[in-house]
Amino acid sequence: MEHYRKLERMYDAAPINHWFKPELTVSEGAAELRMVTREDFHHAAGAVHGSVYFKALDDATYFAVNSVVPDNFVLTARFEIDLLKPISLGTLVAKAKVTGEDERRIYATGELFNEQGVLLAVGKGAFARSKIPLTPDVHYQ
């Protein structure tokens, strides 16, 4: 669907992603993000910093949610993460899906794996529709 491809291009255009170099695939109510880790993602003890786990899970759940909102940018309202295992090198794979909706929020969960399928972290978030339209001004094209 063209909406999903536009979301992927919008994500690729974000300046922060030029540094992290993640790859995002969006589908109906779901998203998958892949990111190759590097040593400059490490904390002092030599493993990937939790902020990278957070980014992968927040981004994947965010785009799972925006896949079901065709007209406006969504915003992360709340996000929780449980860090389960460390990784030093390899590929992070975040898989997310929409889990529900109420009058104010859309909810999604995500799981973060290494390339062997070992679960590294889980996250869940609440997302709100913004008043920012999805237009070329936000690289939705």
Q: pTM for this structure?
A: 0.96
- 1-10 per-position pLDDT tens digit: 999 999 999 9
Q: Is CATH 3.10.129.10 correct for 2-134? A: yes
- Which residue do the tokens 């790859």 mark? 23
Q: Binning pLDDT at 50, 70 and 90, where does residue 39 land?
A: very high
pLDDT tens digits, one per residue of 17-26: 999 999 999 9
